[in-house]
Amino acid sequence: MLLCGCHANSEKEDVSEYYEELAKAQEIAVLPADTSAETQVLTENEKISDFIVALDMEHWEMKTLPKEAELVGTFQLSQEETIKFGESTTDGELYPVCEMLCYVDIPYVTLKMAGMKMTFKVSDTTMEYLADYFR
């Protein structure tokens, strides 16, 4: 029983860590599955912040992706490199730090970041919000 409580708590912490990482994004590109060209790019701080809040990550649950999942598109989140010790500025270039894969008509997303790939079940509201970018 104690292990279940600790495990559930650590999953919540993991999701909040992802939230903090996603919130650092300086650009979000919308890439539909049927093309390699982005259809929209969010660069304004307010729009990026609204996007991150709309993800409602505190209600995400780590799950296995259903076999019938069909990719509808990807959100690519980018930011400048972190300033390292001895540096005073970055090169101003944005680098992809995370991809969020979305699927047709199922409330799941897959996060690909830092060499890891995790799938989450999201709320229907979050799914609708994300799906609107691909319509």
pLDDT tens for residues 29-69?
999 998 878 889 999 999 999 999 999 999 999 999 999 99
Q: Once rounded to an integer, what is the mean pLDDT over residues 106-123?
A: 95
Q: Is 105 helix (H, G, I), strand (E, B) or coil?
A: coil
d(CA 95, CA 112) in angstroms, rounded, equals 14
pLDDT of residue 83: 58
Nearest to 23 by CA among 57, 60, 71: 57
d(CA 20, CA 36) in angstroms, rounded, equals 28
pLDDT of residue 26: 94
Strand positions, DSSP E, 35-113: 40-42, 61-62, 71-80, 94-103, 108-113
Query: Does the pLDDT value for residue 90 go beyond 50?
Result: yes
Q: Is 11 helix (H, G, I), strand (E, B) or coil?
A: helix
pLDDT of residue 11: 46
Phi then psi dihedrals of residue 132, to 5 deg: -60, -30
Query: Does the pLDDT value for residue 6 go beyond 50?
Result: no
